[in-house]
Amino acid sequence: MPRFYLNAPLAAGQALDLPDNIVRHLNVLRMKPDEDITLFNGNGKAYPAKLYNLEKRRAAAEILREETQNNESPLDITLIQSVSSGERMDFTLQKSVELGVAAIQPVISERCVVRLSGGRADKRVARWQEIVISACEQSGRNTVPQVLPLCSLQTALAQMPSAKTKLLMSLNRAQTLKQITPSADGIIFMVGPEGGWTAQEEQQAFDSGFQAVTLGKRVLRTETASLAAIAAMQTLWGDFV
């Protein structure tokens, strides 16, 4: 059943006009009146609905019921991702959401190829949030991870809660994930850009309570490192069992 995110209050028995972006998608899917869809608004619940009108530029649906579906991982992971170039960042965000991350903190580090600030940064973060929403639609998640405002690595390190297990992808003083005992409060996982972290940035992370982890002797690309590590964490401590 097609799923669509709607930034609005939802309730059983509610009839509502659907926004233009959903109307376009419904027409692309060649859906027809009386067919079923699922709506969600990020509150953790799903709302099966029936289309009762579908035109080229207008669609309306009635919500049939409210369902509580817990599709979230028991492992709370915040991904600190240094901004990568082109489609790599989009891919990382999309797949990390499918794998179950709870929040994403994009950061600018010294070796970032992409430099964003001001209005350009705000627009890019909004675009990343749209990618996250689409990933939730596809993967069945009813809770939408937040893409936090873009900031410097130093700012991100200063803002991270101390109670969580803090892990840094690095070959420097690294342990394997099997050697880590994660905190019940969750995990903060930090992955560098295409050129990696500088020695100074790694030391700043260590000073902020991060531990280095590795997935083996091979050097992984930034988008590979994020996703492989998250999948490994879900296998060791989450719901990939």
Domain parsing of the chain, residue ranges: 3-68, 77-237
Q: Are 154 and 198 in contact (CB under 8 A)?
A: no
- pLDDT one-digit tens code per residue, 4-49: 999 999 999 999 999 999 999 999 999 999 999 999 999 999 999 9
The confidence band for 143, taking pLDDT boundaries of 50, 70 and 90, is very high
| Residue labelled with tokens 């799903």 | 46
Cα R_g (the chain), whole angstroms: 20
d(CA 102, CA 186): 10
Residue with tokens 């873009």: 150
Q: At residue 86, does pLDDT exceed 80? A: no
Confidence check: pLDDT of 241 > 80: no
Name the more confident of 78 and 110: 78
117 backbone dihedrals φ, ψ, rounded to 5°: -160, 165
What is the arithmetic mean of pLDDT over 71-92? Answer: 92
Residue with tokens 């950061």: 107
What span, in angstroms and rounded, lies between the C-alpha atoms of 34 and 53? 8
State the pLDDT confidence band at 166, using cuts at 50, 70 and 90. very high
Q: Looking at domain 3-68, which CATH architecture does it have?
A: Beta Barrel (2.40)
Query: What average pLDDT is seen over the chain?
Result: 93
For position 134, what pLDDT does the model report? 97
Residue labelled with tokens 């590590």: 229
Q: 125 falls in which pLDDT band (50, 70, 90)?
A: very high
Residue type, 45: K
- Residues 30, 46: Cα–Cα separation, whole Å: 22
Domain 77-237, CATH among 3.40.50.150, 1.10.3210.10, 3.40.1280.10, 3.40.930.10: 3.40.1280.10
CB atoms closer than 10 angstroms to residue 82: 27
Lowest-confidence range among 28-32, 67-71, 110-114?
Answer: 110-114
Query: pLDDT-based confidence at 212, cuts 50/70/90?
Result: very high
Count CB neighbours of 141 within 10 A. 25
Above 90 in pLDDT, residue 121? no
Nearest Cα to Cα of residue 102 among 232, 236, 230: 230
**CA-to-CA distance for 235 and 232, rounded, in angstroms?**
5
Percent of the chain whose pLDDT exceeds 90: 80
